[in-house]
Structure 1
């Protein structure tokens, strides 16, 4: 009998089938969802200088995407609770596969491929009760649904493949919502966590915040090649609280919470929308579209400074520091505290810039 463990082992030992690579669409470095002026939605590939490499349509508002490690294929996810996930040929714009979560599940906006591209992992939750699940999809069988395993928390959001290639780190937001709705039901009792999980669903390590921060929902992740994880948070408690919105963690160690000066923390309005390490990995930053701010920290947690930018949210590593995007169509390069404009598109960029590995 084939078990989930033996299935995954066989997939991860195989090589992905030859296919046209990212060079065929101009070697993009990033993926980003956006809204056009006419109200329609697209997924865009961007180069290091902010130039468009390709643009393909989406049926509704996108949230994040993940890129196949070798071929010009991306999976675009709807905003949670997701009603679609599309596998898109980024050369032709053709929708190769439309993924449907199992009955009673929803997609939660993020996913990740295995290192060799043979498995897709999707962030999901059970509609009733919001228990987190990781969906497993066989890429070489046309993205066939295989199984799922627990995220070990409620309301998961982003998940990332760890550098060992054999485990995931998962941001469990801790929030229970109505079935296929965004109404929050457990704010008084929520408990977010950062979970490290093996491909067979085994919980390897779980990090929870101190009790007075139990309403700080862990949402998005950044990952350095040496395994250092950055996680950003969104405060769900009383308005006006200046809670830390960024944490750093390395397996086997206690988390480090990164705090800005009080005035700077208040400007963020309790909301961090994206997180990324800088190009060389010696610093990390978070963005707040609500506050119009980007905060920079050292990789040991010291506050380095702030950059003001209206509606800034998308953030990703760049060889020159960071690339950031905003809801007004702007793309900027940040190196230190002085942003450099790259270009402006007639688009409203959505929450995330996703770096294509390569």
Structure 2
């Protein structure tokens, strides 16, 4: 039955998904081609954060921004809502999720805020997205999770304890300890790494990986706002975290957003939505290349050998040495992520 469902080609072959808002506070999931054409915009109940694309069916899950309680499964070929995911009592979503490689299960990052503990909700994508269980994320405050090429997952446990009664306030600064957790395809934790003591307030938030399994990390500093700390790190299993400084890091205002590695592995791009700035690093050594002032720079994903970056009014298609600005009409204000669709 799943093979009879619409494919991404039938949905207009979008290359990217992103959440966006418009004037009047309307909120949308938007599908974009590599040329910056809008192939669909589908309404969602309130502000979204990221989305998860099914590996081969034209289905996407749009997640509410933390501490939202909804996720909407959309048929991107017909524009219809397939299912509405509501977080269980005592849980809220963290804005991210990922499908298993076969597309049968959806995993969602969640906050069990009364415990507190990080959880990964498990939903059956073959049975109406019925919730069938949950597993530990391996830490507090799981945010982005991604599927790796081996079928396992990497989870960014940000370390920040929050509670919806206190909006987005961080409640555990004295004991905060983020980590990067790896799970195998069955959901078993197989590795973890934590920052050293002097970096424990550097929340591990957003991640990307290359074909070899190397993970690059966008960090958000929760300590002294004037402290000169790096906001980019990388990791390979079995090693310690490696942090990378950049002379323009301060322009991100201690808040790194999305991160991506170019397809050829030569560049890393990291956005700073609060500072309207993007940092570029050498993809092999991690050495700083340069930075670019880009208004409202938000999501970043691979585009050819370089990047597509959402910003005010459209997309930048390029990298550290320049690129092509593509205007996108519609008055969109993009949220933090640009999700690449791997079409099967």
Work out whether 1:285 is the aligned partner of 2:269. Answer: yes
**CA shift digits 1:218-264 (9 cap, x unpaired):** 00011112111111100010111121111111112222211112xx1
| 1:205 pairs with 2:191 | yes
Q: Which residue is equivalent to 1:307?
A: 292
- Partner SS, residue 173 of structure 2: coil
1:324 aligns with 2:309: yes
Q: Which residue of 2 aligns with 1:58?
A: 44
The aligned residue for residue 113 of structure 2 is 127
In structure 1, the residue corresponding to 2:4 is in which secondary structure?
A: coil
Residue 69 (structure 1) aligns with: 55
1:162 aligns with 2:162: no
**1: distance between equivalents of 2:240 and 2:199?**
15
| Alignment-derived partner of residue 333 in structure 2 | 348
User: What is the Cα deviation at residue 69 of structure 1?
Assistant: 0.9
SS of structure 2 residue aligned to 1:313: coil
Tell me the C-alpha RMSD between the 2 structures.
Answer: 1.5
Q: C-alpha displacement at 1:344, in angstroms? A: 2.9
1:297 aligns with 2:281: yes
Q: Is the 8 A contact 1:17 1:140 kept in 2?
A: no
Where 1:242 maps in the other structure, the secondary structure is coil
8 Å Cα contact 2:11-2:78 kept in structure 1: no
CA distance in 1, matches of 2:147, 2:64: 20
Residue 201 of structure 1 deviates from its aligned partner by 4.3
1:225 is aligned, of 206, 211, 217, to 211
Unaligned runs of 5+ in 1: 1-14
Where structure 2 has 5 or more consecutive residues not aligned to the other structure, the ranges are none
Offset of 1:200 from its aligned partner?
4.6
SS at match of 1:267: helix
Tell me what 1:9 maps to.
none
Indicate conservation of the 8 Å contact 1:129/1:176, yes or no: no
- Work out whether residues 332 and 342 of structure 1, in 8 Å CA contact, stay in contact via their aligned partners in 2: yes
TM-score, with length taken from structure 1:
0.91
Q: Indicate if the aligned counterparts of 1:307 and 1:339 stay in contact, CA closer than 8 A.
A: no
The 5 A counterparts of 1:62-211 are 62-165=48-151, 167-179=152-164, 181-211=167-197
In 2, distance between residues paired with 1:274 and 1:247?
13
Matches within 5 A, 1:252-267: 252-261=238-247, 264-267=248-251
| Structure 2 residue 254 is matched with structure 1 residue 270 | yes
- Distance, in Å, in 2 between the alignment partners of 1:337 and 1:309 is 14
Q: Secondary structure at the match of 1:266?
A: helix
Q: 2:317 aligns with which of 323, 333, 337?
A: 333
Structure 2 CA distance, aligned partners of 1:320 and 1:342? 17
Q: For the residues of structure 1 that align with 2:210 and 2:129, how far apart are their CA atoms?
A: 28
Match of 1:26 in 2: 12
Q: How many pairs are equivalent?
A: 340
State the 1:84 CA deviation: 0.5
* TM-score (norm: length of structure 2): 0.95
Alpha-carbon distance between aligned partners in 2 of 1:16 and 1:118, rounded to the nearest angstrom: 10
CA contact (8 A) 1:149 1:200 kept: no
The Cα shift of 1:313 comes to: 1.3
1:302, distance to aligned residue in structure 2 (A): 1.0
